[in-house]
Structure formats: C-alpha cells, structure tokens
Amino acid sequence: MPQSFTQVFLHNYKFDAFLCIFARAMGGKRLKTGAGKIGGGPPRRCRSGKWTQAGFGGITRFAFPFLAGYRAMTQDTTAPDMPPLPMLDKARANLRAACDRLNIHPDVFEELKWPRETLSASLLIRMDDGSRRAFKAWRCRYNDRRGPTKGGVRFHPNVSLDEVETLAFWMTFKCAVANLPFGGGKGGVCVDTKALSASELERLSRAYIEAFAPFVGPDRDILAPDMYTNGIVIAWMADEYSAITGAPLPNAITGKPLAFGGTVGRTDATARGGFFALRYLQGSLGLDPNKATVAIQGFGNVGYHCAKLLHADGYRIVALSDSRGAIHDPDGFDPLAVMEHKHKTGTLLGAPGHGQTREIGNDELLELECDVLVPAALERQITPENQARIKARVILEMANGPVSPAADVWLAEQGTVIIPDILANSGGVTVSHLEWVQNRSGFYWDASRVRDHLRNVMETETQAVWTLHNEMGLSMREAAYVHGLRRIAEAVEARGTQAYFDGA
Ligand SMILES: NC(=O)c1ccc[n+]([C@@H]2O[C@H](COP(=O)([O-])OP(=O)(O)OC[C@H]3O[C@@H](n4cnc5c(N)ncnc54)[C@H](O)[C@@H]3O)[C@@H](O)[C@H]2O)c1
C-alpha cells in the first residue's frame, strides 16, 4: 500500500495505465469521430454504461468503482500525513485557527484535513484538425457531512489538483456559511478555452461528464459553472448527463439555461449576493454609495454583474479589467457601455468612460486609490509582494481566494476590511440550491421570490459574521470560518466523535 502522497499518486496513475491496457486487451475499439461524434472515440448517447467504449473517458467510467474505493482507502486519516499541497495547506490554516477559537473536538479537524475523495481523469478528445489531445481533469468531493457536495467546474490552463482541492475546501465552508444542505466539491480541466473551437469545447465539456458521471448525482455531487464554464458549457454537460442517466432533466448540474430547468436569477446571483452583503454593511463601513469609488478586477460573469449592480446603486466604477488589460477613469464607467464595447471589439480596452479614460496595467488596478476593491478573477492577486500598495479601505472578495493568507493578516492589521469569499460570493451557490430545489419539486419560482430569498440569506449570514467579528474581535474572514465551522462541526459531532466511545 503506498504511503506518501507522491506514491499514492504514482500508484493511481499506474493503476489507470493498467486499466487502459486491460481495456484494450478486452476489445475496446478505437472509434471514428467526426460530425455528430463527440469526444475521443466514444459513441455518444451511450446510456448503458457498458464497456463498449474506448478512450480514457470510457475507461474512467469502467474503472470508477475501483478508483473511487481505492482513493478513499488511500486517504484514510490514519495514514501518515501527505506532503504539502501549498494552496490547500495555506487554506487549512483558517480551519486550524477556527478550530482553536471554538475549542472544536479534534475529530472535526481530522475529518476536514483532507478531501473525502478526488478523482482524476485524462479527457481525450478529437480536435477539428483530426488530431487527438488529452486534457487533465479532476473532480473533488471535499466533505459531505451537511449534504451532497456542490461546486463548479473550472476550465483554465493553470488548474491543478491543489487548486481543485482547495476550491472544494472553500466550497465546504461557503455552503455552511450560507446554511445550505450541501458539502463542498469542485472540478477543473487544465485547458485554455480561447484556443478551442466551439465544437472542440463541446466535446471537452461532454467528455468531462462522461469521465465523472458515476462520481456525480443530485444526492452525491452537484456541478455548477465556474471560470470559463458559462451557460452553454453547463447545458452541454447537463445534456450529456441526461443522455448517460436517461433522466431528461438532471438536477445534478445547476446553472443550466432557463429552458433546460435553470432558475431565474442564477446568472447574476453571485454578484447580487456580494452586492447584498456590501449594501448590508455599507453603513457600518462608512461607505456612502453616492460618493464611494470601486475598482473591479475581472469583467466576466461576476465582475460585470457586480459592476452593473453597484453602478445602479450609485457607486462610481473607476476601473475595470479582464485578462487582456485594464481601464481607468476617475469619473467612472457605465458597465453596460463597456460590455457593449467588449462585445463589439473583443476587449474592454478603448471602452468609453465619463471623463479621461486611460489604459493601465492589471497590477495597477489593484493598487488604485478607491474605496472598494472587488477582485473577481483569480486567486492570489494580493500577496505580500503588493499588499503595501493596496489603498482600498474595503475588499469585497468576489473571486475565490484572491488575497493570500499572509496578505490577509497584514491588511487586517492595517484596518482594511475584507469581506471574505466564503461569504461574499456565496450568492451563486445559494441560488444554485434554489435551482436544485425547483428541479426536485417541479415548481418554478419567479424572479422576485428568488431575489428575496437571496437577500434574506445574504443579510442573515452577513449579520451573523459581522456580529462574530465584533464580539470575538476576529477579522471578517476568521469570523466567517468560525460561523461555518460551527455548523459543520455540529453535523460531524451529531454522528459521533471519540467522546461517545470514551463515555464522556
Ligand atoms: N460564476 C459564479 O457563479 C461564481 C461563484 C462563486 C465564485 N466565483 C469566482 O468568481 C471568479 C470569476 O468567476 P466568473 O464566473 O466571473 O468567471 P468568468 O470566466 O466569467 O470571468 C473571469 C474574468 O476574469 C478575467 N481575468 C482572467 N485573468 C485575469 C487577470 N489576470 N486579470 C484580470 N482579469 C482576469 C477574464 O478575462 C474574465 O473577464 C472566479 O474566481 C470564480 O471562482 C464565481
């Protein structure tokens, strides 16, 4: 039995390779692809799950029961600790601190130390030019004590196992902070979507589901959008899941288009949730929406809707950015006009503002003089390297993990208020929960009911975190972890801890 993480990993890959050879020996065929055929060979619409397919996707499905069981075994908490995964280790420092604050039973920390299970796969797809390419992919179920795991799928060239597991860890806490009956999960594919054609992207999205279908399910692991997985990607995934399971409306995937069982209000839910949290705190933070200035990093789903909502509320959006660059105008931008320009030209560079607009570097945006900084793109954008140059009084973390743990401590000491990701961006998963509920009941809500529910959740939980922050003298992040951990610990302890066996 392998002992170290590296050994476990290598062992798993050898196991995959063995299955690959075994599958070929058993007669898995290499199938032609072309128009109407998607993925690296497998025939589509295969509902039986029988071993009739070649390619890694088929193998993963075939091998899944062995792999899942094997990985679960190798992640036994009685095994020696694994070598560090840098991001996850750092994220876990918040858990350790919250456990110490609450005097939580050691069994709880032990349970949350590692993901419950992580599956890796190689997605082999046919490219438009006829070649085949393999993309590394993962799906992690971190902890499911409060319910089925829930989390998005990220398509990005820098996605790694460490990132996926860390994002799943954060999802565990986010769902608890929002008081949802879910645990935390996450998935990712190492891919630059901009380098793929639409049909290649469709094949990849479907191949992801094919590889992980046995791992997911409405009562097991529920998928959602994340970076570079928009509504159409989610629709392909949901369609593929329907085909595999034979269920026409799979509620194992949320963020679906409306016509495909989606919910009203999901598109801007993450941004709206952050907006509700900020608006709830703005009085306490001394922010006057008619005077306050905002810089937003990332102009995708979350960044754009955040800009729109804040702008409509009176805030002045003085800077915006995307992966291609950033723009600054002290007199502010109308996000609708910027989006229109982006649609026309493919970039927000050159978009009109209300005054003297100039292009700036992405780094410069973070360091601008403004009241509220909204990172809505990637992790680790604010680190010890640039922390001293951050001038915003308030940071609304719409991205996951945009402030490194060291910078987080340093900024909190300087008096910067950071509304942490596990609270600020929990609006998305909150409305995803409503989609899951509506799919189950078959009764669909109107927009005002969804918004009222979201506002209620965001205000209730923001108030709880703010109260802990003040009463226990914690940073907002520490308070959010304490708040979430209390709920997770209750769910763990309800099933019994060592104390039951000690007769305590
Ligand atoms: N979509 C959701 O519902 C949701 C929910 C919770 C958290 N989040 C988090 O919010 C963040 C954004 O997600 P999204 O759904 O808006 O993704 P998206 O793919 O729609 O948009 C991402 C944006 O970030 C920009 N970007 C990428 N690299 C950048 C860089 N180096 N500098 C500046 N901008 C850069 C992209 O150009 C794009 O505009 C992610 O961290 C995601 O995990 C999203």
Residue 317 sits in a domain whose CATH number is: 3.40.50.720
- Which atom belonging to ligand 1 lies closest to the Cα atom of 228? 19
Q: What is the DSSP letter of 401?
A: S
248 plus 275 within the same structural domain: no
Angle at 448 between CA 442 and CA 452, to 5 degrees: 100
Mutate to test the pocket of ligand 1, among 189, 229, 270 (most ligand atoms within 8 A of CB): 270
Mutate to test the pocket of ligand 1, among 378, 386, 458 (most ligand atoms within 8 A of CB): 378
240 plus 273 within the same structural domain: no
With a 6 Å cutoff on the Cβ, whether 376 touches ligand 1 is yes
Cβ proximity of 230 and 160 under 8 Å: no
- Which atom belonging to ligand 1 lies closest to the Cα atom of 326? 33
Give the pLDDT confidence of 439-457 residue by residue, as tens digits: 999 999 999 999 999 999 9
Percentage above 90 pLDDT, the chain = 73
172 plus 304 within the same structural domain: no
Q: Is the pLDDT of residue 308 over 70?
A: yes
23 plus 136 within the same structural domain: yes
Residue after which a domain boundary falls, among 362, 394, 424: 424
Mutate to test the pocket of ligand 1, among 223, 266, 302 (most ligand atoms within 8 A of CB): 302
Instruction: Tell me, in angstroms, the distance from the centre of ligand 1 to residue 154's CA.
Output: 10
What pLDDT is attached to residue 365? 98
Instruction: Tell me, in angstroms, the distance from the centre of ligand 1 to residue 301's CA.
Output: 7
With a 6 Å cutoff on the Cβ, whether 321 touches ligand 1 is yes
ipTM (interface predicted TM): 0.99
Answer whether 0.90 is exceeded by the pTM. no
223 plus 99 within the same structural domain: yes
CA distance 272 to 419: 14
Q: State the average pLDDT over residues 118-139.
A: 98
Residue after which a domain boundary falls, among 360, 392, 424: 424
236 plus 324 within the same structural domain: no
273 plus 242 within the same structural domain: no
With a 6 Å cutoff on the Cβ, whether 58 touches ligand 1 is no
Residue 448 lies in a domain: no
301 plus 208 within the same structural domain: no
Least confident interval from 10-24, 115-129, 160-174: 10-24
Residue 474 lies in a domain: no
Residue 382 lies in a domain: yes
CA distance 272 to 34: 42
76 plus 185 within the same structural domain: yes
At residue 502 the predicted structure's pLDDT band, cuts being 50, 70 and 90, is low
186 plus 38 within the same structural domain: yes
Higher pLDDT residue, 419 or 19?
Answer: 419
Residue after which a domain boundary falls, among 372, 389, 424: 424
Cβ proximity of 312 and 336 under 8 Å: no
Alpha helices for 26-82 (secondary structure H): 56-74
Instruction: Please give the structure tokens belonging to residue 450.
Output: 């969804």
* Residue span of the structural domain in which 361 resides: 269-424
Give, for 306, the enclosing helix (H) or strand (E). Answer: helix 301-312
Instruction: Tell me, in angstroms, the distance from the centre of ligand 1 to residue 289's CA.
Output: 24
CA distance 164 to 155: 11
Give, for 396, the enclosing helix (H) or strand (E). Answer: strand 394-396
Is 214 strand, coil or helix? helix
Give the pLDDT confidence of 345-391 residue by residue, as tens digits: 999 999 999 999 999 999 999 999 999 999 999 889 999 999 999 99
